[in-house]
Structure 1
């Protein structure tokens, strides 16, 4: 007697299961979400390949090439040179100094030497491309710290309750009582005055972290209050799971959907706030590759004949924010139907 065994069923990979899940399918059918994702990926590629798109030149200073140990701008395209890898993954601070084509105060129109023209003598194209790296660095660090702090403190507040919850929530109320922009300006001014030689990114990151984690913590707290009494949490507790394991393995993972979408939306708003600081003179030093400075340079030349000094920086800022907001809104609708 022969038995015919059923052919083994192949298990679908996690990646394929993810791509065919209902939220991802909803995202893929949303044209605005795909448009926002395409814009975001374009900025990601611009930031990563900034040394190739706006390569440092020897004529406009050459400090970046010197620090990369390169003698010619074309060597930055050669993987055999150490400067090739250093420029991509660990570019020195001199590469973030906007190349200055001249010291003439009047803007110069777009040309082969400066594709987007110049403002205060600075190459707008170089500043925007390398400024994309600056914006991504600040956005990822600020949002990452806010997300981690918000997850941990919000989970502790919601899970334990009692005096711990009361203490954290009253502190959050104090932060909410202060306008975020005013609090950020005060902190940046204080930190820069007390630490004049510090990296300019440090006071900006610290100020936005102090002012930004509370919103994440409050959202996570609300999700934890909803999930901590569910059956699977009680089952894990009855099996002897410790509180920290319950929080990290069961409570937080089921509270991530709301804060992840919020984090993606915040990635598009941080550059706007940083640009506002630079416009007020509280951002990076003059000449650093950062979008807000280029807008500040254009303030004295808001005339139709000098359209390029404002159009290109404004386009970068608007498109960057638009891409993250379109994709973030669609992601929120896909993973949280209650928000519709």
Structure 2
């Protein structure tokens, strides 16, 4: 038999205050006395029933209700995110199917960027510069002067590689090259590397104009449009920056011979392989089947040697193999359009 006589004077309810918060009921909670256990237990702040756990403020019933509403809210948020994602994908698909004209794309891009003073729009972004091998020593010095004059705490400007100004990697944001007239430039390794990375390619005139005016002028009027050999209406180089999609589909299989690289452009074989992969094409290996294969060769001799190799291995789909000059790859990249391969065949 449990004696509870000693508890007759104990109050049935009391408010327990959290230490340091003894103002009215702020920070406090109700407790009820249990005469059987001679102890106090915490009450739900909604209904004055015993709480689910001493560390919590709700009973089992109200805890379940709160959990239900919380899960509903999470589900609602997830559904909203999914709807937004689907809507975004629809817009992207629509834009891909109905491509805007290049001029419209340029105008909309410029509207986003040029909304204030020219120098303010440039100062908002960090600039990492590489130079094309078409620049002379004086022009490279001007690029370095540009960096020295305008680099500060609010505007980070630097070379991709201090000791090799023409080095390009994924951190590079700007390539500076010569303007051969009408915003064209000669084809160099750096131009090709910049195009497959969708990097801004600007004329040295942007650097010179900024130095003359003592502030960074708007870069877009100095953007290079195309390589020197392209058609006059082409804007392939500029389009490479706008269109983030690779020029080749992954179904395009390319094999690289060119064991000595491309001498005239100073491209090593490893660099050529990297360009192929960045262009979106798939590099041939022993595990890939193909319907059509493009083999890049530097010379007829390389082509003949490769053909002999296929004859030894009893290749049966020789008709679907194209032995092409590397220019097919380069021209397709800088013009941002796959070229007709027939004129590049050995």
TM-score if structure 2 supplies the norm length?
A: 0.21
Relative contact order: is structure 1 or structure 2 higher (C-alpha 8 Å, sep ≥ 6)? Answer: 1
In our comparison, the structure showing a higher alpha carbon Rg is 2
TM-score if structure 1 supplies the norm length?
A: 0.22
Q: Which has the higher helix share?
A: 1
Q: Which has the higher strand share?
A: 2
